[in-house]
Structure 1
Amino acid sequence: MKTTIETQQIIQAPISKVWQILTRFEDYPKWSQFIKEFYGNPTVGSRIGVLLSPPGGKSMKMNPVFLKIDKERELRWRGSLIVKGIFDGEHYFILQKINENSTKLIQGENFSGILVPLLKKMIMGSTLKGFEQFNQAIKERAEQGL
């Protein structure tokens, strides 16, 4: 079983500023309520630790592998719950330049595995809401020039 969620946010800031905020992982605890922390040094092929805290849900630690880090374009990682095939997610951020001072942020995740049907309510509820909160937090941070 598979399902995908995707969110979009228009940010009135240059793509370079949005990318800087998105990839300064050590600052996440200061502003992100959804992705609380990163542990490790994110490089393509590296496994890192991520602490997620979806709104109204339980915090969970994942250990995804970075698949893509394409400066000012795309950030992508894939993680699994316990073992591959149970509940897997490929998380992505895509940045699109609208003009010199505007950026479209797309955040999504492709879920697969045997638990997807049982967890669909969580995916479409607290996980989706967490994505929206994260997008809004990046927007506020970028537009305030932080």
Structure 2
Amino acid sequence: MKNIRTEILINRDITNVWDVLMNFESYPKWNPFIRSISGEPKLGNRLIVIINPPGGKGMTFKPKILTLEPNKEFRWKGKLGINGIFDGEHYFILEYLDKNKTKFIHGEKFSGILVYFAGKMLDKTEKGFQIMNESIKNECEIK
């Protein structure tokens, strides 16, 4: 198993951060890592997600939404092929710090037999998370 966990402080209220995170239509304008998400954000639904890790190949996958708690957490699980080959549980957690400060936590838990061979790809993924974090911070703070 491999875990990636990143975080950033956003100088906006938690509701604003949640609204930007969940506005999938705006992703192409501000998000260089997750280029697009389509589908209805509803617990149990599948989404179509296109990512573009820095220095890597773009990927499309269809994760299932596991957690959807407004202003708190958005989590999905995707897989490559069948369960146990290469699975990823991607999460966004928002923590209220004060009226205009939100901690944005962004990570993923990877499991499956191919994880041990995916070192460079996972390094690029972590860099992509950091770039997305900076981008959502900028998007939230200019609004």
Q: Calculate the TM-score normalised by the size of structure 2.
A: 0.98
Residue 131 of structure 2: aligned partner: 133
| Structure 1 ranges of 4+ moved more than 2 A | none
Identity of aligned residues (%): 46
Q: Matches of 1:40 and 1:95 in 2, distance apart?
A: 22
Q: Look up the equivalent residue of 1:16 and give its one-letter code.
A: T
In the TM superposition, what is the alpha-carbon distance from 1:120 to its structure 2 partner? Answer: 2.1
Residue 84 of structure 1: aligned partner: 83
Count of equivalent residues: 143
SS in 2 for 1:115: helix
Q: How does 1:32-111 map to 2 (within 5 A)?
A: 32-111=31-110
Q: Look up the equivalent residue of 2:126 and give its one-letter code.
A: L
> Does residue 112 of the first structure (1) align with residue 105 of the second (2)?
no
CA-to-partner distance for each residue in 1:76-119, whole Å, 9 max, x for gaps?
00000111111000000000011000000000000000000000
SS in 1 for 2:40: coil
Q: Matches of 2:98 and 2:138 in 1, distance apart?
A: 18
Please, what is the CA RMSD of the aligned residues? 0.7
Q: Calculate the TM-score normalised by the size of structure 1.
A: 0.96
In the TM superposition, what is the alpha-carbon distance from 1:121 to its structure 2 partner? Answer: 2.3
SS in 2 for 1:140: helix
Gaps of 5+ in 2: none
CA-to-partner distance for each residue in 1:28-48, whole Å, 9 max, x for gaps?
011111000112112110111
Q: Matches of 1:74 and 1:50 in 2, distance apart?
A: 18
Gaps of 5+ in 1: none
Residue 31 of structure 1: aligned partner: 30
Q: Matches of 1:39 and 1:96 in 2, distance apart?
A: 25
In the TM superposition, what is the alpha-carbon distance from 1:122 to its structure 2 partner? Answer: 1.4
Q: Matches of 1:39 and 1:83 in 2, distance apart?
A: 22
Q: Matches of 1:46 and 1:20 in 2, distance apart?
A: 19
> Does residue 121 of the first structure (1) align with residue 109 of the second (2)?
no
SS in 1 for 2:140: helix
